[in-house]
Every structure is written in structure tokens, then in C-alpha cells.
């Protein structure tokens, strides 16, 4: 149970950090930005859950995990290249 609590705390911390970043875009429009952020967060989570379950059904667990790892690597590469371009 300790791992699940730690995992949940990490997800919550990431959400708060992302939400703070989004709300800092325009402090005068926090309600609109928060609504948009939460909508995208919910839709993305729902779509990810649906596609993840379908991928396991179609391809099996190992291929689905490999696809997820590949997407994480691509996201990390994009993040690194954007940060390098800003610096």
C-alpha cells in the first residue's frame, strides 16, 4: 500500500506543478485557464485509459508497455530539445 500512496502523491504533485504553470500564463484569467486545464487533463486521462486498455487487448501487455516507453522517450526528447533551444 505504501507504493500506491507514493505513486498517488507523485501524480498529485505533478498535477499541481502543471496547474501552477498554466495559471501563471494570465493571472487575470485563472478561472478560464483552470477550466481548460482540467478539461484537457480529464479528457487526456480518459482517452489514455481507453486506448491503453484497447492496446493491451489488441497487442498484449509487452507490446503496449514498449509503445508506452517509446512515447515517453519521444516526449523526453522533445522536452530536452525545446529546453536546449531556449537556452
Instruction: Please state whether the predicted TM-score (pTM) of the whole model is above 0.95.
Output: no
Instruction: Check residue 24 and report its DSSP letter.
Output: T
- Is residue 1 predicted with pLDDT exceeding 70? no
Region 47-64: mean pLDDT is: 94
Identify the band that residue 84 occupies on the pLDDT scale cut at 50, 70 and 90.
very high
pLDDT score of 4 more than 90: no
Statement: residue 78 has pLDDT above 90: yes
CA distance 73 to 67: 10
Percentage of the chain with pLDDT > 90? Answer: 79
Question: For residues 13 and 72, what is the distance between their CA atoms, to the nearest angstrom?
Answer: 19
Residues 33, 26: contact at Cβ < 8 Å? yes
Distances (CA, A) of 23 to 35, 41, 86: 10, 14, 21
Tell me the pLDDT of the chain averaged across its residues.
92
Amino acid at each position: 500500500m505504501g507504493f500506491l500512496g507514493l505513486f498517488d502523491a507523485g501524480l498529485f504533485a505533478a498535477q499541481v506543478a502543471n496547474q501552477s504553470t498554466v495559471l501563471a500564463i494570465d493571472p487575470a484569467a485563472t478561472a478560464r485557464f483552470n477550466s481548460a486545464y482540467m478539461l484537457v487533463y480529464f479528457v487526456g486521462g480518459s482517452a489514455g485509459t481507453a486506448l491503453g486498455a484497447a492496446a493491451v487487448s489488441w497487442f498484449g501487455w509487452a507490446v503496449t508497455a514498449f509503445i508506452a516507453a517509446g512515447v515517453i522517450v519521444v516526449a523526453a526528447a522533445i522536452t530536452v530539445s525545446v529546453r536546449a533551444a531556449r537556452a
